[in-house]
């Protein structure tokens, strides 16, 4: 699903090329979007596949430019 979203944001040409190469069909932008929207919506509604308790409990850490997990202190 992530790949499909990334391809759709990068441009329709890649998705049309995949449809032509893999399925042998020439598609329009409207046809590709008619197929993509239900696919992405179903993926968003799906339950998580994560079963590891540590991953379930994980919390997002703020990112910094230095790459450390602690935020930089602003200088006055």
What would the pLDDT profile of 59-71 be if each residue is shown by its tens digit? 888 888 875 555 5
Whether the CB-CB separation of 15 and 8 falls below 8 Å is answered with yes
Report the alpha-carbon angle 45-46-51, nearest 5: 140
| pLDDT, tens only, 7-60 | 777 778 888 888 889 888 888 888 888 888 898 899 888 888 888 899 888 888
67 φ/ψ sector (left φ>0, alpha ψ -120 to 50, else beta): left
pTM for the full model? 0.51
């Amino acid at each position: 699903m992530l790949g499909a979203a990334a391809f759709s944001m990068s441009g329709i040409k890649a998705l049309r090329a995949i449809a032509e190469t893999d399925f042998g069909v020439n598609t329009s932008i409207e046809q590709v979007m008619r197929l993509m929207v239900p696919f992405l919506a179903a993926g968003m509604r799906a339950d998580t596949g994560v079963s590891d308790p540590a991953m379930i409990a994980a919390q997002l850490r703020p990112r910094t430019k230095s790459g450390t997990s602690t935020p930089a202190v602003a200088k006055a």
